[in-house]
Amino acid sequence: MLLASRRPVRLLPLTMLGRSTFGWMNTLGLFAAPRNSVVGRAMRRRPDPIFGLELRELIGTGRIRWKPEVTGAEGERVRFADGSEEQPAAVIWATGFRPDLGWIDVEGAADELGLPRHHRGVSPVAGLYFAGLPWQHTRSSALICGAGRDAAYAAEHIAAYLQDHRPI
């Protein structure tokens, strides 16, 4: 399994001093910090963290290999910033909180602002789906707590699509 990202992944523990990290962030007002406040600007300068340290262990044991960002794809090959290429069996593309679909050259995938066209993550382009978009369905769509619900919805549509369109 590969994990590619534009910059190194930032990990935070789920608990600190015996209390949920989310609880600390809430108590400290970090979830409520306005975008352009001093705290908000400071938070935006750093990449969003992944909560939990399991990923560090998975990378350390080689169960997941980290690669630099994807720079292109052709046919079944995916190219990375370090010049290497892979031929993955499947790709799950998570664009983060600022979707940039400039790399998708698919008619109808994006609107005039470059934002994904979709209803709850299901694109009008057959076989194209999105996950983790801000306000994809609710505020929690861009958060882990909303991922399961949105993924289940997309999975239902993917399963239905595959019933009629068997992969080669």
Q: For 10, which DSSP code?
A: P
Q: Is residue 34 part of a domain?
A: yes
Provide the mean pLDDT of the chain.
Answer: 84
**Residue 166 in tokens:** 């068997």
Task: Flag whether 72 is in a domain.
Answer: yes
Task: Write the CA distances from 44 to 19, 35, 36, 54, integer angstroms.
Answer: 24, 8, 9, 24
- The answer on pLDDT for 139 being more than 60 is no
51 belongs to a structural domain:
yes
Residue 63 counted as domain residue? yes
Query: What is the domain count for the chain?
Result: 1
Domain of 71 in residue numbering reads as 1-91
**Contact of 6 with 14, CB cutoff 8 Å:** no
Question: Is 87 part of a structural domain of the chain?
Answer: yes
Examine residue 6 and state whether it is found in any structural domain, yes or no. Answer: yes
pLDDT one-digit tens code per residue, 69-88? 999 999 999 999 999 999 98
Is there a domain that residue 24 lies in? yes
pLDDT at 35: 66
